Amino acid sequence: MIVTATQNDPAVMQLLQGSTTQCMQSVTTSGQEQTPATGCNKLGVDFVGCVNIRNFLNCPQHIWSNSAQCNNLKQFILQCPQPF
C-alpha cells in the first residue's frame, strides 16, 4: 500500500525509506542497552514513534501543510528531547 501510494513521488519514498532505516538502527541499538521488562517489549512502539516523528519533521515542502497548527507542532517537537 505504501509503495503504491508513493511510487510516483520520489521525495516521499526516499523519506520513508530513510526514516525506516534510521529508526531501525536507532531502536535496535537503544534496545540492546535496555533489558526488557516482563511482558511486552517496547521496541515496536519506539520504532513507530521514531518513524512518525522523523517523517513529520522532514515532510517534503510540496506536501507540507503550512498551517499554524502544523508549524506550532513542529516547533514543539523540535524543542523536546528526542528519545531516538
Integer Cα distance of 52 and 33 in angstroms:
23
Mean pLDDT of 6-34: 86
Mean pLDDT of 3-10: 75
Integer Cα distance of 19 and 6 in angstroms:
14
Higher pLDDT, 77 or 29: 77
- Please tell me the pTM assigned to this model: 0.77
Integer Cα distance of 43 and 27 in angstroms:
6
pLDDT tens-digit readout, 25-74? 998 887 665 655 666 778 888 999 999 999 999 999 999 999 999 999 99
Rg of the chain on CA atoms, in Å: 15
pLDDT, position 50: 94
